[in-house]
Amino acid sequence: MGGTGVLAWTRGSGRGRFTSFAVSDWIGADMGATRTGGFVIGFRRSGAAWQKDLGGLAAWAKANGFGAIDVGRDGDVAAPQVAGAGLRVGSVDLAVWQPMISADAGKRRDAVARNAEYVKACAAAGAKVFFVVMLPEDAALARKENFGYMVESYGELAKTLDAVGGRLAIEGWPGAGALCCTPEGLRALFKACPSPSLGVCFDPSHLLRMRIDPLRFVEEFGGRVWHCHGKDTELLDEAVYEYGIEQPPTFGQPKRFGGMTWRYTIPGHGVMRWGAGLACLQRQGYKGVVSMELEDADFNGTEEGEKLGLTLGRAYLEGC
């Protein structure tokens, strides 16, 4: 890689600029894994136009030091393509989400059946980590009511996951009505559904925006971490002074890929202590990948910027 020039994004005084450097000046020849734990580094496939051709995306990933790709709800079809390109499948999205947490018992039964067949098909194709956010069909219902529907549905789906050696990785994105975003919710779920197939997608960016200590979180739930997202969060202290955290702003606007007092970033541009977090995962026996999920206003929006954000994040994680 010596002498190969790439672009870097330099931030300062609220503005950024592109500069060039040689890869050999920054990282070594060994690429694609974290220094702590040796976890393979991948990324989550997005809906960007340049990522629609999975074959071309896999070729770009290999050429740029990535060892895995997370795919969407086409895991039964996409997983063999990813594996055939010599990459790991980090995760696949579970086929059906909201109907699993529906007040309609018939919808729940149908969703469980559809997901069960999808889990079997994906497992046969070599993909066994299933990503999901616990979003209810009706966020206006009482959280305890939706929690009960969730326990019923996922307790039933766990039987299929157990049978095929699958793992459910629950991400704590705090969207409308989302469940299991906090330690309280996860503890309650694992008590109600003790199957080891149910676990966590460790994404520190969501924990940080909620002011939940990600390192303490890994210490508590590390034995159930089935997937990890390489995404960070910058906490905007000046904005906390300006707007506080209890009321919406009168004139201010939230950050892109963020809120009033925080924003998502690539690893290394936020406040996550990645070395310590990876060491926690290693102690807990984590065997999965670290997949970057690119949501960063400094990089999203153009093919050039998104490729740069992914490669810079990968290089940072390699040094952690």
Return the CATH number of the domain spanning residue range 38-318. 3.20.20.150
Query: Hey, CA dihedral for 100, 231, 233, 8, is it positive or negative?
Result: negative
pLDDT tens profile 106-141:
999 999 999 999 999 999 999 999 999 999 999 999
Q: What's the chain's average pLDDT?
A: 91
Mean pLDDT of 188-205: 98
Between CA 236 and CA 225 the distance in angstroms is 28
**Residue 11 confidence (pLDDT):** 41
- CB count in 10 Å sphere of residue 3: 8
**Residue 31 confidence (pLDDT):** 55
Output b/e per residue, 192-212; b: 16+ Cβ within 10 A: ebeeebbbbbbbbbbbbbeee
Whether 268 shows a pLDDT value over 70: the answer reads yes
Whether 239 shows a pLDDT value over 50: the answer reads yes
Can you give the chain as a three-state secondary structure string?
Answer: CCCCEEEEEEEECCEEEEEEEEHHHCCCCCCCECCCCCCEEEEECCCCHHHCCHHHHHHHHHHCCCCEEEECCCHHHHHHHHHHCCCEEEEEECCCCHHHHCCCHHHHHHHHHHHHHHHHHHHHCCCCEEEEEECCCCCCCCHHHHHHHHHHHHHHHHHHHHHHCCEEEEECCCCCCCECCCHHHHHHHHHHCCCCCEEEEECHHHHHHCCCCHHHHHHHHHHHEEEEEECEEEECHHHHHHHCCCCCCCCCCCCCCECCCEEEECCCCCCCCHHHHHHHHHHCCCCCCEEECCCCCCCCCCHHHHHHHHHHHHHHHHCC
Does residue 163 contact residue 127 with C-beta atoms inside 8 Å?
A: no
Mean pLDDT of 96-103: 98
Domain ranges of the chain: 38-318
Whether 13 shows a pLDDT value over 50: the answer reads no
pLDDT tens profile 174-184:
999 999 999 99
pLDDT tens profile 52-88:
999 999 999 999 999 999 999 999 999 999 999 999 9
**Residue 24 confidence (pLDDT):** 33
